[in-house]
Amino acid sequence: MKDFNKVIKYATIDIGSNAIRLLISNIYINNSEHFSTKNSLVRVPIRLGQDAFKNGKISKKNIQRLLDSMKSFKLLMKVHDVNKYLAYATSALRSSSNGKKIIDLVEKKCNIKIEIISGQKEAKLITNNPSFSTKSKTFCFIDVGGGSTELTLINNNKIINSKSFKIGGVRLINNLVNKSTWDKFENWILNNLSNKKNIEVVALGGNINKIFKLSGNKIGKPLSIKLIDSTINDLEKMSFFNKMVTLKLNPDRVDVIVPAGKIYQFVLNKLDVKEITVPKIGLADGMVHELINEL
């Protein structure tokens, strides 16, 4: 590795439907070359989607929790001497009637600018990662969040097709995904993905990362569909208490991991694949590369 002549820190804030995350990254600069490593990650379980998808807006209680989190993130960025940051909000604030008022309030109270991004931009950021070379393969990225699922088909490092659906773990536990939405989801998969040969499927999101870990699969190895099915089946049989105490799952993960897992199963069954890749990257990682590209 070449010697680097400068190191700076960037921060990315992902305001999701089930949790919000602050990722602080080290950016190593060697003339025109750059690379990054993770410095620290803070995850706060504010379930904004619970409000947004059931009531159409974020409650006063969760607005205050969001403000408190943003103030703490601001302080953490200060003590880390962060050079630059990005803050993006996804499905929950997209769906909230008071989403615009909230981001204005965060900017006023915390001096943090938030942008509410589309599902298409979310998919592009997540899949635009240097760790993937799509020149020789066709990739299907599946990203399941609390409020939405993004399906993206990439070949030759270009997005061929991408679609965001209002299907996610938080929506499912609140019975907010109707048959019509599932039908549209299935039809898009059948029309755009099932006829593609030699697709490598890449699964993204906190829940599939946790399923991967619980499955006992070796790090760096593909995860078989058989192992996904058996892990989800075992989780379904366990009580909430055992999931939290025995498996050490966070309380906000316990109720969404199986519903989110079933979304992955739904897609994988339609694609008829035998194994998938789980790289443990997300929106915050894609945002880091967006910042690096501005250097």
Distance CA 212, CA 136 (A): 26
Provide the pLDDT for residue 113.
98
Overall average pLDDT of the 226-231 stretch: 97
Provide the pLDDT for residue 198.
79
Overall average pLDDT of the 211-240 stretch: 96
- 248-261 pLDDT, tens digit per residue, is 999 999 999 999 99
159/31: higher pLDDT: 159
Together in a domain, 55 and 115: yes
Per-residue pLDDT at 41 exceeds 80? yes
Provide the pLDDT for residue 2.
56
- 66-94 pLDDT, tens digit per residue, is 999 999 999 999 999 999 999 999 999 99
Distance CA 131, CA 59 (A): 39
Q: Which of 108, 101, 107, 117 is nearest to 15 (CA)?
A: 117
- 277-295 pLDDT, tens digit per residue, is 999 888 999 999 999 988 7
In terms of phi and psi (left: phi > 0; alpha: psi -120 to 50; beta: otherwise), the region of 147 is: alpha
* Main-chain dihedrals φ then ψ at residue 216, nearest 5 degrees: 80, 10
Together in a domain, 105 and 140: no
- 187-209 pLDDT, tens digit per residue, is 999 999 877 777 889 999 999 99
Tell me whether residue 124 is in a domain.
Answer: no
Together in a domain, 17 and 42: yes
Together in a domain, 84 and 159: no
Together in a domain, 163 and 229: yes
Model pTM score:
0.91
b/e code 83-93 from CB counts within 10 Å (16+ = b) = eebbbbbbbbb
Together in a domain, 48 and 143: no
Distance CA 49, CA 58 (A): 8
Domain boundaries, position 179: 132-278
Overall average pLDDT of the 25-46 stretch: 91
Q: Residue 137 sits in a domain of what CATH number? A: 3.30.420.150
Tell me whether residue 246 is in a domain.
Answer: yes
Q: In the predicted model, what is the mean pLDDT of the chain?
A: 92
Tell me whether residue 235 is in a domain.
Answer: yes
Overall average pLDDT of the 230-235 stretch: 98
Structure tokens at 247: 């498996």
Provide the pLDDT for residue 148.
96
Provide the pLDDT for residue 31.
76
Together in a domain, 170 and 55: no
Q: Residue 107 sits in a domain of what CATH number? A: 3.30.420.40
Alpha carbon dihedral 15, 132, 185, 205, in 10-degree steps, equals: -40
Tell me whether residue 203 is in a domain.
Answer: yes
Provide the pLDDT for residue 133.
57
Number of domains within the chain: 2
Provide the pLDDT for residue 18.
94
Q: Which of 168, 162, 193 is nearest to 182 (CA)?
A: 168
Tell me whether residue 199 is in a domain.
Answer: yes
Distance CA 20, CA 87 (A): 10
Together in a domain, 185 and 253: yes
- 127-153 pLDDT, tens digit per residue, is 877 666 556 678 899 999 999 999 999
Together in a domain, 62 and 170: no
Together in a domain, 263 and 238: yes
Together in a domain, 157 and 78: no
